[in-house]
Structure 1
Amino acid sequence: MTLEAFGVRYGRAVAAASAGPPGESPLNRAACDVLEMAAAYHADGCTFFSGGDPVNALASFAYGLGWLDAGLALGLVRCGAEPPSPDEIGAAVPAALADHLSEKTHRYERMLAEAAVSVEIAPDPASPLHRAAEECIAAAGRGLAGGRARLRENDSPGALARFSYGYGWLDAGVRAGLLRVTRRRDLFTV
């Protein structure tokens, strides 16, 4: 799927998403944060895409999708449209932007790797939320491993998509209170 088509499909999913928990509850606030971030990064991606910057558009769409998918998996968000998979992003990046793509991809790899070791699970192991926190960490780990695999295949757009997507999951877990930041707070949107 082209980056433009991916952005359209992701935008439809964001537009069809709503908070699951009832209003005024703490979980509703977490759901609203997820929806706000998913929408903001869709808008950013569209702005970057229309401005001729597919690298930042790709990173924005994938990061926002990570937030949305985390919200869906955690039961914070309902969605009436199927969001795309980060594996469906087929970003064609012009050769003139190869250095920009390489720099951003490697920077996001380093940031995600550092962020992943800068958090710990917040809920007690006996809490059902402990498993949700584990899933956020696992999704970030899959993003990091998948991105590194794509780098070995010389697929920088695919790598950037996976790093950004995994980072979205990690940030959503922190914002929802499932993960506690133990160092490098500057790497998170809290």
Structure 2
Amino acid sequence: MTASGTKSDLRFYLQSARDALLWKLDGVAEYDVRRPLTPTGTNLLGLVKHAAGVELGYLGDVFGRPHGDPLPWLADGAEPNGDMWATADESRESVVALYRRAWAHADATIEALPLETVGRVPWWQDGKDEVTLHHAVVRVIADTQRHAGHADVLRELMDGAVGMREDNTALPSSDPAWWEAYRERLEGAARQAAEREGGRPAVSP
């Protein structure tokens, strides 16, 4: 495969992950888009804020291409996990706009540099801090897809909205009755397996 073909594949899967993550914010109220939904505080808007910082770092700063956006939550001495949630003063619109600027900056880096270009990751251990652009893009794709999966689960728990993307849910049915029967089947299988091992389900449905 040619270098341009490889870049095209990488860009496709990166953009697919970006779109999926951002789509999960659609139709969500201001409180719900920010509120923590797991014991570790995972929330929809925080995932987007984090993803923006990852792209600006790995596909910008690492390759000597500063983006110009101040990211105080990533500065030395900043509060831990500050990139994983939005303060009351950070609007949804500003976080989404930052993410879209991160896309443009990252895409420009991918376009401008050969995939074999070596960058330096300042937050990695000295002596082990070099990375190729190819590696960095794959790393960002993996991170974004992981967080898009987190957003999938958060959104389903929040209001039942599911699907891979707006034009393709990638689900076998849209019938609630089908899903209820499916879930009951899984619950039954789990209980049978637990009983076979001589145990009991830890939590009732």
TM-score normalised by L of structure 1 = 0.30
TM-score normalised by L of structure 2 = 0.28
**Greater fraction of residues in helix:** 1
